[in-house]
């Protein structure tokens, strides 16, 4: 009962928390009593008043007890009440399409003043968070309507994560409703449980305009091939008008055709075939001649960028027994023009192996046996080995790939793919990973996996709900040869799952193509390497990565690396790479639309190394593909979230609409904090007072 009362007083009344049992408090009292007893039990003075001795005993006892109690590291609990004002989020569309209408001057002048007045009014009563969005999200209040992409769903997803568990009063979304990147914003708002008010910007009136909507073509072709091009041209309010579509390369006209628009809104498809005559990146211009009084001529032209390669990479699929996986592997590889695929039964293959860049051994070595396995293992190219129920694991282990599977009895287990986020060999975007996470399990050998620490694991095995570090797909290097291993069969189920989720096989095909592309590309053994993309959009930064090696193939970054970029007119732009930890990096900034060549050079000792390449920058005209505002979308968003849609001219009404709502109000909450009692200034002063008072009385009575 006594312990309960002490606990009640310490915890509830005093707000103290200690990690030790309550009986330690009695230990502090005991220490205080013993310390006082040994000091005062012989102290007897007849000329001293009894109250003085009692006072000193009490002061000494309290001082030692408090100090002993502080050694238990007690924490003091403090509860404070915080009041959080509602947050009003103002999100302003800063994209180019907003000003493509009759009110463009209004949006660039008067509207911006109205927006400032609104945010100023709201700040008097609420916390206001301002964001502008387009191709990126910023909190910069300067609005210029120059952004060349609009991703409304990215903004909404960012707000969800940024303001999770906050007192959000309302969202004011000012936009024309046009989005050309990301998903439908209506569905991105479904989990938002606060009012959304929309400002219907832009122009819904159909304007006279011709737009190159889309160009369908294969971005990678091979020298000497003919490749098809499909051009989709849309026209508004051009009924009966005739114009000409032209395809040019530099100053040479390769194709031209007259087209006539039959109705007030129409789309015409134009098909042609072009020749791939030169290696490298080729830029073609697709132009539709404008008609009279057209609102914009910027969307009458698009660049068509094609990478022309010299040869295809050759791949052979070897198997011992038929399996549906072989068909899906071949179909996936043949979906890319990069690869030329052949398949053979392993025992019947007699051709030269060195003509292939990659050999896929499907469940080979097999339990059925194979007589010529050694010739496939000794060739100069790379290997992709697919394991399954017909694989002879003992023979596989003898190959010494860097992976060894030991098992007392050959059994198999269903293994789901679990992506390794630190995988370095090639990139996997989020959309790809999200689809793969839903793939069904592969049938994998069950046993102990011993693999090289230098292996790069793409997917690990997840058995049921249990994640593991057992590799499902991994890559190794063996004597300079690149080896990939897929430790499971039934890849056809992955292809089928991809179709069920997305209506096509694109994700599965892309995964297999990435694996094959990495394995089939020959390793770069040069002492100087420069990496960059071959295609950029006009809003992208031109970035380069560089690596320099010494004769022992050790990374160095002492010498300067120079780079010269040359445009189509022969004008040069010199740069010097910056140094990273062991390599080099260069951000050359933005360049105008066009084709460029670059030459990078470095001098190491007496040796000078040079790398040449080229890249193209294409126009980003997404904002001009559709300039008709979608106010219906904005109305649906506002109505589904108990908000209202207003005109940009009436934007100041939003203050009254927000202010009159009873559900937008401050929220108070209690916050508990814990502080170390030993660091409290008042406790220090208390101890100082007890000790000082005792010392003063002892001094006064002459005991010292």
DSSP annotation string for 325-386: HHHHHHHHHHTSTTEEEEEEEGGG--S-STT-SEEEEES-SBTT--S-HHHHHSSSSEEEEE
Predicted confidence at residue 46, as pLDDT, reads: 58
Identify the H or E element spanning 623. helix 622-625
What's the DSSP call for residue 391? Answer: B
Sign of the torsion formed by the C-alpha atoms of 458, 461, 467 and 469: negative
Dump pLDDT digits (tens) for 480-507.
789 999 999 999 999 999 999 888 999 9
Q: Which CATH superfamily is domain 86-205+628-665 in?
A: von Willebrand factor, type A domain (3.40.50.410)
For residues 283-298, give the mean pLDDT. Answer: 86
Mean pLDDT lowest for which of 82-86, 222-226, 572-576?
A: 222-226
Size of the chain, expressed as the number of residues it contains: 704
Identify the H or E element spanning 32. helix 24-40
**CA angle in degrees (0–180, nearest 5) for 577-582-587:** 30
Using alpha carbons, select from 86, 81, 83 the residue that is nearest to residue 662: 86
Confidence label for 704 from pLDDT (cuts 50, 70 and 90) = low
Mean pLDDT lowest for which of 253-262, 342-351, 381-390?
A: 342-351
Predicted confidence at residue 190, as pLDDT, reads: 86
Dump pLDDT digits (tens) for 641-655.
999 999 999 999 999
Domain ranges of the chain: 2-80+675-701, 86-205+628-665, 209-309, 313-520, 528-618
Using alpha carbons, select from 140, 139, 138, 141 the residue that is nearest to residue 120: 141
CB neighbours of residue 416 within 10 Å:
23
Task: Look at residue 45 and tell me whether its pLDDT is greater than 60.
Answer: no
Which residues, including other chains, have CB under 8 Å from residue 592's CB and lie 6 or more apart? Answer: 538, 567, 617
The Cα 662–Cα 659 span in angstroms is 8
Task: Look at residue 14 and tell me whether its pLDDT is greater than 60.
Answer: no
CB neighbours of residue 424 within 10 Å:
8
Q: 209-309 maps to which CATH number?
A: 2.60.40.10
Mean pLDDT lowest for which of 46-55, 214-223, 436-445?
A: 46-55
Predicted confidence at residue 7, as pLDDT, reads: 53
Mean pLDDT lowest for which of 143-152, 369-378, 548-557?
A: 369-378
Mean pLDDT lowest for which of 105-114, 254-263, 612-621?
A: 612-621
For residues 29-52, give the mean pLDDT. Answer: 71
Task: Look at residue 606 and tell me whether its pLDDT is greater than 60.
Answer: yes
Predicted confidence at residue 309, as pLDDT, reads: 77
Judge whether 57 and 44 are in contact, CB under 8 Å.
no
Mean pLDDT (the chain, rounded): 86
Q: Which of 292-301, 322-331, 399-408, 431-440 has the highest mean pLDDT?
A: 322-331
Task: Look at residue 128 and tell me whether its pLDDT is greater than 90.
Answer: yes
Q: Do 528-618 and 86-205+628-665 have the same topology in CATH?
A: no
pTM above 0.85, yes or no: no
Q: Which residue's entry shows tokens 């990435």? A: 514
Written out in words, the top-level CATH class of the domain with range 313-520 is: alpha beta
Predicted confidence at residue 486, as pLDDT, reads: 96
Confidence label for 59 from pLDDT (cuts 50, 70 and 90) = confident
Task: Look at residue 304 and tell me whether its pLDDT is greater than 90.
Answer: no
For residue 88, what are its two tokens? 């009003």
Task: Look at residue 5 and tell me whether its pLDDT is greater than 70.
Answer: no
Q: 528-618 maps to which CATH number?
A: 2.60.40.10
């Amino acid at each position: 009962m006594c312990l309960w009362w002490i606990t009640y007083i310490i915890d509830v009344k005093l707000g103290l928390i200690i990690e030790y049992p309550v009986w330690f408090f009695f230990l502090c009292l005991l220490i205080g009593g013993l310390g006082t007893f040994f000091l005062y039990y012989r102290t007897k003075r007849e000329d001293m008043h009894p109250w003085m001795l009692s006072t000193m005993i009490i002061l000494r006892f309290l001082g030692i007890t408090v100090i002993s109690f502080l050694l238990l590291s007690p924490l003091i609990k403090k509860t404070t009440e915080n009041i959080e004002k509602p947050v009003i989020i103002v999100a302003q569309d800063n994209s180019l399409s907003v000003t493509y209408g009759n009110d463009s001057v209004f949006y660039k002048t008067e509207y911006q003043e109205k927006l400032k007045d609104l945010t100023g009014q709201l700040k008097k009563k609420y916390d206001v968070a301002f964001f502008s969005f387009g191709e990126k999200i910023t909190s910069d209040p300067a609005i210029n309507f120059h952004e060349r992409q609009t991703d409304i769903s990215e903004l909404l997803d960012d707000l969800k994560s940024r303001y999770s568990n906050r007192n959000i009063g309302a969202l004011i979304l000012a936009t024309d409703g046009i989005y050309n990147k990301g998903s439908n914003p209506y569905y991105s708002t479904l989990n938002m449980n606060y009012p959304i008010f929309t400002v219907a910007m832009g122009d819904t009136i159909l304007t006279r305009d011709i737009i190159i909507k889309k160009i369908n073509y294969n971005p990678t072709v091979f020298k000497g091939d003919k490749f098809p091009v499909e051009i989709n041209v849309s026209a508004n309010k051009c009924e009966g008008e005739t114009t000409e579509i032209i395809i040019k390369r530099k100053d040479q006209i390769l194709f031209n055709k007259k087209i006539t628009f039959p109705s007030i809104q129409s789309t015409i498809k134009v098909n042609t075939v072009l020749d791939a005559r030169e290696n490298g990146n080729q830029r073609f211009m697709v132009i539709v001649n404008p008609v009279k009084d057209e609102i914009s001529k910027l969307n009458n032209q698009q660049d068509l960028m094609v990478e022309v390669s010299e040869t295809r990479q050759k791949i052979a699929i070897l198997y011992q027994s038929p399996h549906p996986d072989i068909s899906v592997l071949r179909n996936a590889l043949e979906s890319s023009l990069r690869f030329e695929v052949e398949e053979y039964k392993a025992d019947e293959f007699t051709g030269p192996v060195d003509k292939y860049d990659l050999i896929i051994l499907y469940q080979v070595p097999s339990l059925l046996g194979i007589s010529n396995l050694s010739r496939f293992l000794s060739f100069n190219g790379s290997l992709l080995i697919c394991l399954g129920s017909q694989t002879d694991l003992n023979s596989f282990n003898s190959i010494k790939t860097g992976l060894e599977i030991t098992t007392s009895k050959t059994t198999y287990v269903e293994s789901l793919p679990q992506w390794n986020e630190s995988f370095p060999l090639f990139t996997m975007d989020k959309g790809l990973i999200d689809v793969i996470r839903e793939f069904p399990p592969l049938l994998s050998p069950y046993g102990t996996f011993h693999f090289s620490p230098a292996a790069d694991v793409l997917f690990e095995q997840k058995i049921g709900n249990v994640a593991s570090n057992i590799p499902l797909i991994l890559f190794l290097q063996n004597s300079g040869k690149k080896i990939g291993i897929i430790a499971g069969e039934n890849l056809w189920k992955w292809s089928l799952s991809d179709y069920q989720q997305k209506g096509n096989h694109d994700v599965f095909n892309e995964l297999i193509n990435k694996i094959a592309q990495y394995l089939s590309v020959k390793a770069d053994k040069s002492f100087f390497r420069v990496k960059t993309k071959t295609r950029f959009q006009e809003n992208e930064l031109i970035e380069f990565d560089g690596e320099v090696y010494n004769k022992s193939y050790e990374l160095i970054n002492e010498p300067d690396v120079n780079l010269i970029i040359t445009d189509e007119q022969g004008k040069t732009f010199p740069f010097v790479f910056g140094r990273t930890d062991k390599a080099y990096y260069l951000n050359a900034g933005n360049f105008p639309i066009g084709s460029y060549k670059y030459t990078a050079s470095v001098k190491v000792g007496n040796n000078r190394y040079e790398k040449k390449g080229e890249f193209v920058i294409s126009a980003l005209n997404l904002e001009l593909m559709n300039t008709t505002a979608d106010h219906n979308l904005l109305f649906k968003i506002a109505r589904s979230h108990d908000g209202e849609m207003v005109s940009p001219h009436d934007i100041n009404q939003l203050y009254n609409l927000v202010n009159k709502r009873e559900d937008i109000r401050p929220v108070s909450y209690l916050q508990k904090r814990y502080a170390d009692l030993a660091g409290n200034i008042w406790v220090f002063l208390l101890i100082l007072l007890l000790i000082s008072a005792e010392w003063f009385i002892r001094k006064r009575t002459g005991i010292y």
